[in-house]
């Protein structure tokens, strides 16, 4: 009840921010001029607002996007408002292992540091289909794509930490929908099966995977003694292009629950807060809602499930990767 009250009223939590706080407000006064960030899906929706606000704070933003034309238009929009913004675009299709590897190679070739990785892109409530690599498309895009991308960029971030002394931060965009997943959390034995597929639970499964990935990666980095934090966030309910597969249903629900929905600047706030705010230094393996730490589902806190997903993800990628 407290969570619903805070969401409806915008009452701030312990961080001093709440559901009505915007990305600009939660990053006010923060200087990011010595930072470089990659934002997947940074050309539209809350990804675009995240890109804009980080650029506003001086961060060098690299937008990873499947639609390069749209991403370049987004870049122009940002530069029109912020003449000093540093924004670059690289092609990235998270549904393609080949594209992910090419993106990582292209980024490394730029010889830039990597301080922040925001795994923002995603798809939602899709009819059953397989990616070009033969993986169920929501799991492929929302989890496997980001899992592989993070792994390929991790050495770059570790080197940046070592040479600059600045803590690295990885942010996974999850969702409250992680609570609405399949029985036992992840359908390991039927991940690509059409039988039993449910578009809503498949989305919830992928968002659960985002939290489990963040937690397990955080555990491994802490064991190594690496100064990189990994957290996950729920941005809130925002009407964005993510809802293109269920726009009629979402508009109907929004009519009856208008007080629960955020605008885009509010939706990007938690991501920007976790990515940039000095208060989050050293905070890792946490789940944030409305810029405040919250407790996710029991599945999301299951360490054995996180380790199983880690191993499963590696095996899945290896099984579909071309030599």
List CB contacts of 235: < 8 A, sequence separation 6 or more.
46, 173, 175, 262, 267, 268, 270, 271
Tell me if 287 sits within 8 A of 232, measured CB to CB.
yes
Query: In angstroms, what CA-CA distances link 8 with 4, 12, 14?
Result: 6, 11, 17
| Catalytic residue (choose from 182, 197, 203, 273) | 197
Q: d(Cα 298, Cα 316) in Å, to the nearest integer? A: 25
Strand segments, DSSP code E, in the chain are: 36-40, 60-65, 86-91, 116-119, 168-173, 228-234, 237-238, 261-262, 287-289, 292-294
197 is catalytic: yes
Instruction: For residue 229, give the nearest of 287, 155, 280 by alpha carbon.
Output: 280
For residue 262, which phi and psi values (nearest 5 degrees)?
Answer: -110, 160
Label residue 280 exposed, middle or buried (CB < 10 Å: 0-12, 13-18, 19+): buried
Query: Residue 14 has which token pair?
Result: 């312990």
| Positions marked catalytic | 197
């Amino acid at each position: 009840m407290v969570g619903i009250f805070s969401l409806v009223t915008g009452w701030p939590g312990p961080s001093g921010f709440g559901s009505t706080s915007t990305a600009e407000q939660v990053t006010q006064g923060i200087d990011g001029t010595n930072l470089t960030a990659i934002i997947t899906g940074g050309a539209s929706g809350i990804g675009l607002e995240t890109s804009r606000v980080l650029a506003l704070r001086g961060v060098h933003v690299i937008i990873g996007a499947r639609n390069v034309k749209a991403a370049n238009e987004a870049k122009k929009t940002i530069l029109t408002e912020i003449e000093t913004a540093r924004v670059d675009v690289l092609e990235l299709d998270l549904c393609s292992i080949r594209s992910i590897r090419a993106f990582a190679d292209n980024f490394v070739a730029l010889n830039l540091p990597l301080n922040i990785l925001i795994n923002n892109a995603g798809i939602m409530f899709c009819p059953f289909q397989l990616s070009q690599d033969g993986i169920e498309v929501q799991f492929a895009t929302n989890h496997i794509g980001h899992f592989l991308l993070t792994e390929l960029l991790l050495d770059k971030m570790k080197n940046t930490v070592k040479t600059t002394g600045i803590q690295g931060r990885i942010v996974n965009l999850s969702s409250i929908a992680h609570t609405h997943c399949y029985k036992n959390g992840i359908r390991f034995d039927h991940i690509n099966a059409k039988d039993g597929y449910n578009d809503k639970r498949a989305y919830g499964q992928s968002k659960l995977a985002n939290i489990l990935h963040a937690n397990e990666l955080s555990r491994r980095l802490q064991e190594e003694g690496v100064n990189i934090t990994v957290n996950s966030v729920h941005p809130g309910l925002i009407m964005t292009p993510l809802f293109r597969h269920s726009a009629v249903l979402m508009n109907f629900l929004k009519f009856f629950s208008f007080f629960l929905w955020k605008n885009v600047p509010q939706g990007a706030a938690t991501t920007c807060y976790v990515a940039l705010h000095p208060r989050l230094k050293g905070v890792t393996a946490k789940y944030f809602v409305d810029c405040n730490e919250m407790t996710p589902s029991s599945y999301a806190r299951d360490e054995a499930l996180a380790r199983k997903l880690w191993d499963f993800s590696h095996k899945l990628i290896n099984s579909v990767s071309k030599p």
